[in-house]
Amino acid sequence: MALLLDTNAVVWWLTDSPRLSGEARTAIDAEVVSGSVYVSAVSGLEMALGEARGVMPSAAAFVDDAEASGFRLLPFDAQDAIAVAGLPRLHGDPFDRALAAQAQRRQLTLMTADRVLAEYPIAVYRL
């Protein structure tokens, strides 16, 4: 199962937060070995905007740490943007909608604690 981690899942992984369960950590570890854990450029943008507002840590460190953890960076391309328009309007957060579109288009399982994202026609690993 190839995983796309939402921004919170990546942050929880990188900070060793107890909000990320042992089961989720095991699932991530298993997929890192096969090179199947992805972090979207969308999460990098979300971090950068949060950093600019002073509410998130360094986006550059976030990206570096994600890569050092064995996660693969997933670009957000024009086809991903078009796919966002095809999603039902269930979620108001554009970052989350973009992640859902990427997961759907690329047939990835989105790892998230967000209940609304589980309503999209995508595979979800609920945290």
Q: What is the pLDDT of residues 6-24, one digit of tens each?
A: 999 999 999 999 999 999 9
pTM reported for the whole predicted model: 0.96
What is the percent of the chain with per-residue pLDDT over 90, rounded to a whole number? 98
The CA distance from 12 to 64, in Å, is 15
Residue 102 is predicted with a pLDDT of: 98
pLDDT tens for each residue of 76-109 = 999 999 999 999 999 899 999 999 999 999 999 9
Tell me what pLDDT residue 83 has: 97
**CATH code reported for the domain at 3-126:** 3.40.50.1010
Query: Residue 78 burial by CB count (10 A; 0-12/13-18/19+): exposed, middle or buried?
Result: exposed
**Mean pLDDT value of segment 49-56:** 94
The domain spans of the chain are 3-126
Beta bridge partners of 109: 3, 123
